[in-house]
A = this chain, B = another copy of it.
Amino acid sequence: MSTPTLAELQLTRDVTIRDVQVVDVRFPTSLFRIGSDAVNTDPDYSAAYITLVTDTEEQGYGLTFTLGRGTEVCVLAIQFLAGFVRGRKLSAIVSDFGVFVRELVRDTQFRWLGPEKGVVHLAAAALINAVWDLYARVAGKPVWQLLAEMPSEHLVRLMDFSYITDALTPAEAYEILQAGQVGLAERLAELKRTGVPAYTTSPGWIGLRDDEVRTLCTQAAAQGFRHVKMKVGGAHEEDMRRAALIRSTLPPYMRLMMDANQRWDVGEAIERTRALSVFDPWWMEEPTSPDDILGHAAIRRETGVRIATGEHCQNRVIFKQLLQAGATDVVQIDSCRLAGVNENVTVLLLAAKFGVPVCAHAGGVGLCEYVQHLAAFDYLRVACTFENRVTEFVDHLHEHFTDPVEMVNGHYRLPIAPGYSAQMWDASVAEFQFPHGRAWADHESV
C-alpha cells in the first residue's frame, strides 16, 4: 500500500514533534473519600501527563490515569518511549499508525517488562493518546470525527492484529467498518441531538453516608440518568443493605449495576452474586481477578447474572479470550490501560464481531474526556447502536480540563473542539504537580 497523502490523512499541513514533556500530576482525592471502593480505598486520582511540543504553535496533550503512588514509574517509562516520537513528523507516524504502535510495544529490550501490559502499556497509552490529540488538532477535528470520517482501510491500518487473527482478521474488521458507513449521516444527526448515553457511579461509593446516597440517587434521576452503579464487595450484610437502600430509592425504570472491584475468588463471587441478584443488577462488574477469563465464564454460567469486565484488562489478547470463552456480557474498555486509541478501536471491532456491547470505563481523571470519543465512534462506525450501551460518568476533576465533558440529560454532549479533550489548564498542572506543586506543599503529611 502506498503512503497516503496529507489530504488522505485529513491533514492540511504537517508538524514535527520536537520534544516530549512529562509531568506527574496528582489530585489529593483520597482526602475527600472520592472514589472509594472495596479494593481502591484511598485513590489520589493522578496522571502521567504529556505535552508534545512541535515546530509550530500546535501542541498535543495526552495522559495515562493512575491512582497516585507509582505515577513516577509511568513517567519514567514514558521518558524512554518518548524516543520513538522525538524528531518525527506527525504524518510519518499516522500514515502507518499500526506500525508505530508496534514499535512502541515491541522494543526488543523494553518488551520484556510487559509484554503489552502494566506500566509499559500504560506508558504507551499516554504517548499514543497524545499523538492522537496532536493529530486531531492539526486536522482541526475532535478525535471521534477524525475516526468516523476515516476510510475503512485506514482504520484497519491503525490496528495491530497480532495474536487476534484467530478471532478477527483484517478483512473481517474491514467488513464491519464498511457496514458502518450505512446510515452514518442519520446516526451522526442523532448523536449531535442527544449525545452519548451515560451512567453514573456517584451515588455508589462505599464511603458515603446513607443520606448522601439517597440525595445522590435522587439527583441522578433528576439529571436524566437511567443507570446507576454501586460498589459492592464490602461485608456481605452491608452490601445487601446498601443495595436495598439504593434499589428502593431509585425509580423502578432505572437500572442498577454492581461493581465488586475484583474483591472475590471465583467461588465466593458465585455465592455473593447469587445473593445480590435479588436486587436485579443489570450487571455484576469485576467479580474476581481481571486476569481470570475462565473464572468470569464460570461466574456467568453459574449465576445467570450478566457479567461486565475490562477496566483492568491488560490488552486485546485478554479481551479476545473473554469473548471467545463467553465470559463477559459487557466489554469495558479503558482508554489508558489499552494502548491508546488504536488498541481501543481494535477491541471495539472484536466486540462487534462477537456481538457484545461495549460500555467504556471512565471516572478518575481524564477518562470521561477520552471515552466519549470512543463511544461516539463505536456508535457511528462499529456497533451502530446504543442498545445496551452506556458509558460511565463520574462528576469530578473536569474543571481541570480546557475542554471538559458536558452532560445533558444523562448524556455526554458530543465534543466539538479539535483534539482528544484531555488538555489540562496550565494552572492545574502547576498546582497539582507532584511533589512540588502548591496542592502537595499544603498536604505534606499525605
Contacts and interface: CB of A to CB of B under 8 A. Distances in A.
Interface of A: 39-44, 66-70, 72-74, 76-77, 80, 107-122, 161-166, 262, 265-267, 288-295, 298, 312, 314-315, 317-318, 320-321, 324-325
B325 A294 contact: yes
A84 B69 CA distance: 13
Contacts of A312: 115
A314 B115 CA distance: 10
Identify the 6 closest CB pairs spanning chains A and B, nearest first.
A118-B118, A119-B119, A166-B266, A69-B109, A68-B109, A163-B289
A42 B110 CA distance: 11
Contact of A294 (B73, B111, B116, B293): B293
28 contacts: A39-B108, A40-B108, A43-B108, A43-B112, A70-B80, A70-B113, A72-B80, A73-B120, A76-B76, A113-B122, A115-B312, A117-B314, A118-B120, A161-B265, A162-B265, A162-B289, A163-B265, A163-B295, A164-B265, A166-B266, A166-B298, A289-B317, A291-B321, A292-B320, A293-B321, A294-B324, A294-B325, A295-B321
- Number of copies of this chain in the oligomer? 2
A112 B66 contact: yes
Contact of A109 (B43, B290, B318): B43
Contacts of A262: 115
A109 B321 contact: no
Contacts of A40: 108-109, 111-112
Nearest to A291: B317
A163 B269 CA distance: 10
A260 B232 CA distance: 43
A363 to B, nearest CB: 12
A68 B67 CA distance: 28
Contacts of A44: 109
Contact of A66 (B41, B113, B289, B318): B113
Given A317-B292, A324-B294, A80 B76 contact: no
B109 A67 contact: yes
B118 A292 contact: no
A318 to B, nearest CB: 6
